[in-house]
Amino acid sequence: MAIEEYLNRKKEDIGRLLVKCPDRPGIVSALSTFLYEHGGDIMESTQFSSDDPTRMFFIRIEFYVKDLLEKRGQMERDFKPLAEEFQIDYKFSYNDRRKRAAIFVSREIHCLLELLWEWQSGDLDMDIPLVISNHEVARDIVEQHGIPYYYIPANKDIREEVEAKQLKLLEQYDVDFIILARYMQILTPNFVARYPNRIINIHHSFLPAFIGARPYERAYERGVKLIGATSHYVTDELDQGPIIEQDIERVDHRNNVASLKKIGQRIERTVLARAVKWHIQDRIIVKDNKTIVFQ
């Protein structure tokens, strides 16, 4: 490959392939050969083989193909026999369109602020077409960024009515995935089913400890020595979805509920931002209720 072509690679000529399949010899060779035969240059490849009884293989490949957007249809058609041979569950993704994320938020806006900062600085390569909230607290901040803000009051008694309005907006704005940036409402199974593994939540606890409401108060009552936060995909079971990222900080007997919350909020911001970044970069593969994250 000419040096000039290498240095002048267009973003839209770079794609990603995510693969999960039963582990067996020859998979990496077959994938590499397939990309080579289609003019592909592998830029990054990360793989993992599980050592449990399922014996599954996972790989993320980032590759370059000149004029990829014109060739991707044929590539995907040509990939099907290989997928059948190795029983591959796969996903191709491309850079012709940035992922579009709707942010849901309630009263506490620290996670929203972090996402807006990361987005504005260019560290989150996505579009934010709208923010939805059941409170008016964040309106001015969001609209200062030129992002539409929708206030939709919500509670458990009108949940289906509220979600119908939200789903209409998500369809209107062609949203790819949803970020729950401390949105303190439980979603119905119908809503979750519309966005499988595409709703990212931040829970203010190091799961599986302190599932549900008031985790900082419960952590204080238990005298915890570590405080943490967890970002996960949303499923029908409360705070039980596949975990994407977690972090912790040490605390002790001198901390009260207020200081635990302050420490925890700092962790929440960074944990959620990392999870979102990995999602938009297609670095996450979900298997059952677990994730493989190729950082």
Quick: pLDDT tens for 12-35.
999 999 999 999 999 999 999 999
Q: How would DSSP label each residue in 151-213?
A: E----GGGHHHHHHHHHHHHHHTT--EEEESS--SPPPHHHHHHSTT-EEEEESS-TTTT-SS
Domain ranges of the chain: 3-94, 100-293
CA distance 133 to 59: 37
CA distance 27 to 8: 31
Beta strands at 177-180 and 199-203: parallel, antiparallel or unpaired: parallel
Name the strand (E) or helix (H) holding 277: helix 257-280
At residue 204 the predicted structure's pLDDT band, cuts being 50, 70 and 90, is confident
Q: Give percent of the chain with pLDDT exceeding 90.
A: 89
Catalytic residue among 239, 247, 252, 282: 239
Q: Is the peptide bond before 53 cis (omega within 30 degrees of 0)?
A: no
Q: Tell me, which fold does domain 3-94 have in CATH?
A: Alpha-Beta Plaits (3.30.70)
For residue 3, pLDDT beyond 60: no
Query: What are the two backbone dihedrals, phi and then psi, of residue 39, each rounded to the nearest 5 degrees?
Result: 80, 20
Instruction: Supply the CATH classification number for the domain 100-293.
Output: 3.40.50.170
**Residues 169/150, Cβ–Cβ less than 8 Å:** yes
Per the prediction, the chain carries an average pLDDT of 95
pLDDT at 1: 53
Q: Which amino acid is at 277?
A: K
For residue 2, pLDDT beyond 80: no
Of 284, 282, 248, nearest in space to 268 by CA: 248
pLDDT in tens, 121-172: 999 999 999 999 999 999 999 999 999 999 999 988 999 999 999 999 999 9
For residue 6, pLDDT beyond 70: no
pLDDT at 212: 83
Radius of gyration of the chain (CA): 21
Q: What is the 8-class DSSP label of residue 236?
A: S
Q: Is 13 a catalytic residue?
A: no
pLDDT at 156: 87
* CA contacts within 13 A on the Cβ side of 14: 15
Measured CA angle at 5 (ends 65, 62), to 5 deg: 35
For residue 176, pLDDT beyond 80: yes
pLDDT at 199: 98
**Residues 190/236, Cβ–Cβ less than 8 Å:** no
pLDDT in tens, 267-290: 999 999 999 999 999 999 999 999
Average pLDDT of 191-212? 91
